Amino acid sequence: MKVLLIEDELPAAKQLSKMLLAQRPDFSILETLDSVEGAVRWLRAFPSPDLIFMDIQIADGLSFDIFRQVTVTAPVILPRLLTNMRCKPSR
């Protein structure tokens, strides 16, 4: 399965990629993109992936802005992990 990651936090992207490949070694991470602009450019240039993991807030806006600019035909998952990694309470 060809997977696209849209995440602007490098540690979160690496963690998600590691977890996905550990559970599903048959997955292929096509690209990790960090912005709305980059995601729109990629989705216009390449065939649709089989699955997209997308953080809600990325470098230049909200990932929902991607849907306003390009048709996304792949299923999209908004993993809570990506939000939780940034919002851990300090002790």
Residue 78, CB-side half-sphere exposure with 13 Å CA sphere = 8
pLDDT of residue 80: 72
Per-residue pLDDT reduced to its tens digit, 46-91: 999 999 999 999 999 999 999 999 999 999 999 875 544 444 444 4
Kindly report the CA angle at 23 between 19 and 26, in degrees rounded to 5? 110
Which pLDDT score, from 0 to 100, does residue 81 have? Answer: 55
What is the mean predicted confidence (pLDDT) over 23-33? 97
Structural domains present in the chain: 2-83 (3.40.50.2300)
